[in-house]
Structure 1
Amino acid sequence: MIAVAWLAVPEILAGKVLPLPMWVVSVASGMQSAMLLALAAYAGARLAPGVGLQAPALAALAGSRPAWSMLRAQWLPGIVGGLLGAALLWSITRLAADAAGALQGVTLPPVVRFLYGGITEEVLVRWGLMSAMAWALWRAAARQGRATPPAWIFWVAIAGSALLFGVGHLPAAFALAGAPSAGLVAYIVGANAAFGLVAGYLFWRHGLEAAMIAHLLTHAVLLAVQP
């Protein structure tokens, strides 16, 4: 959140007329985002274990146990997911070149993309939001005497959180690109939701760290291909 407030907010709002000094806007934005992050972290810690969603390596660290064995099992699915995510985003950008052109030349510092995209967004969207959606759906389904939720609940939570993940990118995209268009909205939501499906599946099947690895690798590949 510090990286976003310090580096990303001034980049996004550069040239805009602001009612307050940039440093005040940056601090306020960072505090607001930090509160949302804390809420998501708390929601995930309370709700994820109850529906069988895990962050095994982080849980091992929190319990003062060795985390490497837990993390080692997530490297391969994370790498596969990262390569798939990068291929999806690159392909969608090529197919929607006209819409994506509105963001041509707009970049955020790599440290922001890695820290916020790779870590913070996964805590917000997968650990917090997706866990809460799965828990709420299972409660609404009255659990039907099962110890764990059925697969359809996770698929709905994956799809719902992926869609909201895509929508969540719109404010920053509009600030960077100026006047929005229907094509830009479809591109931003569709591209990010496509990756959200990959990350959500990894979280469900392998753990939060696998989704983080995939997210980090996706940004690394895209930076290498399209610096």
Structure 2
Amino acid sequence: MAATTPLPVSTAPWKPDLKIAVLLGVVSALAVAALIPYLVQLMPDKFAKLPVPLPVLVVAQSLQALVLMGLTSLAGLRMGRRVGLGAPLLQRWINREPLVIAPRPLQAILLGVAAALGVVALSAGIDPFLPPMLHPPAKSGAGESALNGFLASFYGGIAEELQLRLFLMTLMVWLVAVLRKARPSPRVYGIAIAMAALLFGVGHLPAADHVWGLDAVVVVRTVLLNSIAGLAFGWLYWKRGLEMAILAHFSADIVLHVLAPLVAKAA
């Protein structure tokens, strides 16, 4: 039987990770506020029935994101130190820690764009089989729609990566490491990437349900397309760090939610 590498015990203090977690909580709060115009465009019927004024909702949701994302980021950073995952650029810039991973931002951008183009290509084959929309998005000008998509891309790139990669994927790898008392094998990271990607796809089902309702085609389309992108983001998180996963996710969303609407309007 092959020898396993003992799991290192993290002796790093909490304060450096706390500083990064606070920063991530703040930018997540801003990303949630930026997401609201896109949601209003996607679900105008629901926002027309709000029991509170829209600005109050924005502030409440942003404060909630500040706390929840800050706490989950702190947990992800702490767990990540024991399994080689984390935010190397932020750890370098904020805490002056050695940079242990080559970031390669161009690779992240190209992989994010490639994932988005793959989603577009698969959508072209699946979308003709979708049921009629139950709640078509509100009509708007091309620039307005693209602007909302641009603002929403910050939520996808930042908040979703904090939830799915920094916290959830790290948690899965960390649990295996703790149970085995050894540094996980590449297979463990691969399984965690796949599971986080699958959950990333499942997490988009409520929005799909609002637009089409959930039949077999809608479920397969939603989970499959988002999981493909999630695999790319998970691999980048493992090999290049959180920042490159965020950059790739943001790049993919720019293609899907900014360039695609502009091209559709121009056609």
TM-score by length of 2: 0.71
Question: Cα RMSD between the aligned structures?
Answer: 2.9
Q: 1:131 aligns with which of 153, 170, 174?
A: 170
Correspondence for 1:91: 121
Tell me: CA distance 1:11–1:105, structure 2 relative to 1, closer, same or farther (3 Å). Answer: closer
User: Secondary structure of the residue that 2:130 maps to in structure 1?
Assistant: helix
Q: CA separation of 1:3/1:12 partners in 2, compared to 1, >3 Å: closer, same or farther?
A: farther
From 153, 175, 191, the counterpart of 1:156: 191
Shift of 1:200: 0.3
Q: Residue 162 of structure 1 contacts residue 200 of structure 1 at CA under 8 Å; is this kept in 2? A: yes
206 and 3 in structure 1: CA distance in 2 versus 1, 3 angstrom threshold: closer
Residues 1:206 and 2:236 aligned together: no
* Stretches of structure 1 lacking an aligned partner (at least 5 in a row): none
Deviation at 1:159, TM superposition (A): 0.9
Percent identical among aligned pairs is: 31
Can you list the C-alpha shifts for 1:30-73, whole angstroms capped at 9, x where unaligned?
A: 34444331232112111111101132111112214798x977x4
Q: 1:2 to 1:136 in 2, by over 3 A?
A: same
**Cα shift at 1:12:** 4.0
Matched residue pairs, number? Answer: 220
Deviation at 1:22, TM superposition (A): 4.4
In the other structure, the counterpart of 2:82 is: 50
Question: Which 4+ stretches in 1 moved above 6 angstroms?
Answer: none
Distance in 1 between the 2:43 and 2:259 partners? 26
Q: Deviations over 1:165-191 (max 9, x none)?
A: 11111223333x153322212211111
- Could you tell me which residue of structure 2 aligns to residue 4 of structure 1? 32
Structure number, greater radius of gyration: 2
Task: Select 2:203's aligned residue among 168, 176, 185.
Answer: 168
Contact 2:236–2:245, Cα closer than 8 Å, also in 1: yes
1:88 alignment partner, SS class: helix
Higher relative contact order (Cα pairs below 8 Å, separated by 6+ residues):
1
Query: Is the 2:205–2:223 Cα contact (8 Å) retained in structure 1?
Result: yes
Q: Secondary structure at the residue paired with 1:128?
A: helix
- Shift in Å at residue 128 of structure 1? 1.2
